[in-house]
Amino acid sequence: MTQAAIAIAGVTKGYAGHLAVSDLTLTVPRGSIFGLLGPNGAGKTTTLRMVMNVLGPDSGTIEILGRPADDSARDRIGYMPEERGLYPRMLLEDQLVFFAEMKGTPRAEARRRIPAWLERLGLEDKWRRRRVNELSKGMQRKAQFIATVLHDPEILILDEPMSGLDPVAADGMREALLELSRQGKTLVLSSHQMETVERLCDRVALLDRGEKLLDGSVVEVKRCHGPNSIALAYQGDGAFLGSLPGVIGLTDHGQFAELRLAAGADPQRILGAVAGRLQVRRFEIVEPSLHDIFVAQVTGHAAADA
């Protein structure tokens, strides 16, 4: 299977006065877990809406599983918005059946699939006949997830899937996502939580103000956007760290600092400079985190425009 799950080519979409998405080309490979990143107003939502055929692009093409993004294509997608997304006064079971029906799944079939999903996400059976507004936030999030997957879509688009979940529930959600991925589903996560994306996704794309800043596998992105950085755990006054030669960026937490190095800078010399002035507890040469790449790229993009 060589074709892409989602292929966006040269897509532009403008609203009155400004471009929400500008000449975007992006490929989400089949079976990948794809992180779509970007600050607010980057064009993530507009892009996802075009993928689901809610909006039409001004120019460019979008293909879903090798076919144009039309009404029949969106039945093969499941979409979970960031929050809520359920009728507050409807019984959970009726609601789940209804949303599956909206994607073309027969009612009886949808009803048959519900108990397994409830069990898998740790929702007790008694909640099946309760109104959604009686459920806790975390339970609502799980319910929403079931509503997204019940019609067995090939592509899942999830907006901030981990938000509002306690650590145990977040683990459960991660398990469910990985399980779906193992089944060959394609997952697109839109998120601000870099840690989630870093641990879960194999590919990422970064958008800012309608433009794609970078795109590729997580490993690739990290390699291309090293210079390496240094993780340093220390005790003492670290105020001088940012002004060391070869250091171009610093995130200082007081006892822990992340130093980004200029291309060609020698970590050994920095170790030497630091060792004399601080009590070093850990010194590690690491790849930059996605968070750092994200911030560097977005601020660089803003500076280039200014």
Binding residues for another protein, rule: CB under 8 A, are: 49, 52, 54, 71, 74-75, 77, 79-90, 94, 98-99, 101-104, 147-148
- Cβ-based nearer residue to another protein, 4 or 64: 64
* 157 versus 221: smaller Cβ distance to another protein: 157
Least gap, CB of 288 to another protein (angstroms): 34
Residue 188 CB, nearest distance to another protein (Å)?
13
Among residues 90 and 273, whose Cβ is nearest to another protein?
90
89 CB-contact burial (10 Å; exposed 0-12 / middle 13-18 / buried 19+): exposed
Give least dist CB 122 to another protein, A: 23
CA 203-153-200 angle, to 5 degrees, is 25
Q: How far is the CB of 5 from another protein (least distance, A)?
A: 16
Q: Rounded to the nearest whole angstrom, what is the least distance from the CB of residue 228 to another protein in the complex?
A: 41
- Measured from the CB atom, the residue of 68 and 104 that comes closer to another protein is 104
Q: Which residues of 196-233 are buried (b: 16+ CB within 10 A; e: fewer)?
A: bbeebbebbbbbbbbbbbbbeebeebbeebbbebbebe
DSSP per-residue codes, 15-71: ETTEEEEEEEEEEE-TT-EEEEE--TTSSHHHHHHHHTTSS--SEEEEEETTEE--T
H-helix or E-strand spanning residue 252? strand 247-252
Name which of 49 and 120 has its Cβ closer to another protein: 49
Q: Is 161 left (phi over 0), alpha (psi -120 to 50) or beta?
A: alpha
